[in-house]
Amino acid sequence: MSVEKYAEKIARADSIAFVRRVMWKSLDERIRQVFDEHSEYKSALNQFGGLFIRRACDDESIRSSGLLASQHINSTHIFTGHRLLGVSLVDQEKNSLKIASETNAQLWYSQGPSGQVLVFVAPYRSNAGEIEEKEIIIGKYKEPASVSVANVKRHFRVFFKYCSCTSQHSANSLLHFLYRKRLMMSDFRYRSDFRAKALNVVERVAILIVGGAAVWASLYAGGKI
């Protein structure tokens, strides 16, 4: 019967999801390995505001619960500290000056209940200006085992370049703007928006062409050209 057929499918999906969540520990180790490799470059990392790591399993509520990685939602965040921008801003509410700064650019790995892994980057947050996007998905994997050390290293490279592109002192660069847009176009959530905007432009151009052709035809028919 169909009830047994689909009950079996659900049970099989539950088993696969459990196995994929068990895989998280090895992915976390690969992320930590690449993070530690970059931690040696302290002088360079200081330009980003420092680099830090935080894992969901480090949260007190999860740590004290004794839950295994397969029993909670997993995530690992790599994030920057504060960068001072060398200028002061007027704080209208307090009628005083405040130092312009930016902080908390992020690269993070998040696992859903089914075991799928998404990789995000998020821009610097600054009191001197805002970046359009809140975060961008730069990787999508069916399970942690699909994310190799080479993949993680590529994610870190994208992250450091994205930090450069979203820092207030360089965010206005056309090349940096285009790089951010390219990343956004690879994010399936933004892809439909870009497609809709492109179609809108094409439709407007088509209307102008057809309208112009109609005017030209009417003038020709009237013997004015």
pLDDT at 198 over 50: no
User: What torsion, rounded to 10 degrees, do the Cα atoms 154, 111, 164, 41 define?
Assistant: -60
pLDDT of residue 4: 86
CA quadruple 175, 178, 182, 188: dihedral positive or negative? positive
Q: What is the pLDDT of residues 44-76, one digit of tens each?
A: 999 999 999 999 888 888 888 888 778 888 999
Task: Provide the mean pLDDT of the chain.
Answer: 86
pLDDT at 26 over 70: yes
Report which of 6, 116, 20 is spatially closest to residue 70, judged by C-alpha positions: 20
pLDDT of residue 197: 54
pLDDT of residue 206: 46
Confidence of residue 212 (pLDDT cuts 50, 70, 90): very low
Q: Which residues pair with 99 in a beta bridge?
A: 88
| Residues above pLDDT 70, as percent of the chain | 84
Alpha helices in the chain (DSSP H): 2-22, 24-39, 42-46, 60-65, 149-166, 174-186, 188-221
Report which of 58, 65, 223, 177 is spatially closest to residue 185, judged by C-alpha positions: 177
Spatial contact of 115 and 16, defined as CB atoms under 8 Å apart: yes
Q: How many angstroms separate the CA atoms of 51 and 42, rounded?
A: 9
pTM for this prediction: 0.81
Spatial contact of 47 and 91, defined as CB atoms under 8 Å apart: no
Q: How many angstroms separate the CA atoms of 150 and 148, rounded?
A: 5
Each as own residue / partner, the long-range contacts of residues 19-23 (CB below 8 Å, 24 or more positions apart, any chain) are: 19/115, 20/111, 20/114, 20/115, 20/116, 20/142, 20/143, 20/144, 20/145, 21/69, 21/70, 21/71, 21/74, 21/111, 21/113, 21/115, 22/69, 22/70, 23/115, 23/143, 23/144, 23/145
Q: What is the pLDDT of residues 140-186, one digit of tens each?
A: 999 999 999 999 999 999 999 999 999 999 888 999 999 999 999 99
Specify which of 57-71, 75-89, 208-222 reaches the highest per-range mean pLDDT: 75-89
Tokens coding 219: 């003038």
AA letter at 91: D
Higher confidence at residue 88 or residue 34?
A: 34
